[in-house]
Amino acid sequence: MIGRWDGVYFAVTLRSPEHYVQSPNMDPEEIRRLIEAGFSDAIVEVTSEDNTHFEALVVAAEFGGERPLARHQLVYKCLGTLVGNEIHALSITALTPDEWRERSGES
């Protein structure tokens, strides 16, 4: 549908009500299990206050030599199509074991 407001034309996409039905919420524990399944011997912690917006700490040797974007992509790969659907937002901290030890003050 094309509309006009204050002399400016704009396009509007009308969608059926089913489009706006929310997906079921995810549980942080379920997300943790999915991420752990994609890595060997990873430390994974996932938290959420509303089961829609999540924070994940992932410590995995597979991140060695990878840039932050590639690390995030490895985590997203574990979650597949859940990201952007059941998982509305995911903040990721992705570290190697050495980086984690350095941050936590261990030698």
Per-residue pLDDT of the chain (107 residues), as tens digits, is 555 555 555 555 555 544 444 556 789 999 999 999 999 999 999 999 988 889 999 999 999 999 999 999 999 999 999 988 888 899 999 999 999 999 988 75
With H, G, I as helix, E, B as strand and everything else as coil, classify residue 58.
strand
- Domain assignment of residue 46, yes or no: yes
- Domain assignment of residue 8, yes or no: no
Q: Running DSSP on this structure, what letter comes out for residue 41?
A: S
**Other CB atoms closer than 10 Å to residue 93's CB: what's the count?**
17
Range of the domain at 99: 22-103
- Domain assignment of residue 17, yes or no: no
Assess contact for 1 and 14: CB atoms under 8 A: yes
- Domain assignment of residue 6, yes or no: no
- Pair of tokens at residue 80: 């597949």
CA triple 46-26-47, angle to 5 deg: 20
Q: Running DSSP on this structure, what letter comes out for residue 18?
A: G
Number of domains forming the structure of the chain: 1
Question: The domain spanning residue 93 has which CATH number?
Answer: 3.30.300.90
